Amino acid sequence: TDFDMRVAGRTDSGVHAKHQVCHLDIPEKRLSRIGRDPLNAFRLNTLISEDLIILDIHPITSDFDARFSAVGRRYRYTIADPKFKKDPMMVRYALTHKRVLDVKLMNSAAKTLVGLNDFAAFCKPRAGASTIRNLTVFEVLRQKDGLITIDIHADAFCHNMIRSLVGSIIAVSDGRLSVQDLVGVQKTGKRANKFKTIDAKGLSLESIDYPEPAEYAKQAILNRVMRETSDNSV
């Protein structure tokens, strides 16, 4: 039997997820028809694709919404530039960049975008959707093995936003865009092909934050108002 499923992060095609949360509204009578021990994750894992694993299943209150009850999401983007020794095992999980990236300059650019802002310049337009987001973390690190990781946290993200944000600071590192140019792009909402929406394969959903259970319903109502309105005012 098919059931409607709501997921916390509606990732673009090609994006990975180390942590994903979903919920299904299943009437108790229907649940009993599914068979013995319907909430057994081990059993269900034998029935799904090998590139997916269910870590836990448990009942939840009816006021919980996997997407709208969430208060934050953390993603990580991984890049392999010439300072990282080529590793074929990373092909699916990291963007290959042919020029050495300036991590310090990328961080300077990233800091200008942190905060409650209108990210229209970084989002694929969708009718009736707000592009105002609270970006709380945008940090670039070079790991000991040379890989570059970019951690990004916000209350939510609009379509293509993370890949565009990362593309913009890569453009700054490559000298195609200055930090001040980037500030102007964010303020005007016009990117004018100054940077690309980069490949999805380097991106992974790392974690989702939720409030205390008593706040599920309140948070869901607030997020629906914020995300599903054409009025971008806060």
- What DSSP element (H or E) covers 203? strand 203-209
Angle between helices 103-111 and 161-173 (to 10 degrees): 130
Catalytic annotation present for 12: yes
Catalytic residue among 12, 151, 174, 181: 12
Give the DSSP letter of residue 12: P
Distance CA(51)–CA(56), nearest Å, equals: 16
128: left (phi over 0), alpha (psi -120 to 50) or beta: left
Distance CA(225)–CA(161), nearest Å, equals: 20
Q: Is there a contact between 85 and 232 (Cβ–Cβ < 8 Å)?
A: no
- Neighbour count for residue 140 (Cβ, 10 Å): 25
- Neighbour count for residue 138 (Cβ, 10 Å): 23
Strands (E), 57-109: 72-80, 95-96
Distance CA(129)–CA(157), nearest Å, equals: 11
Q: Active-site positions?
A: 12
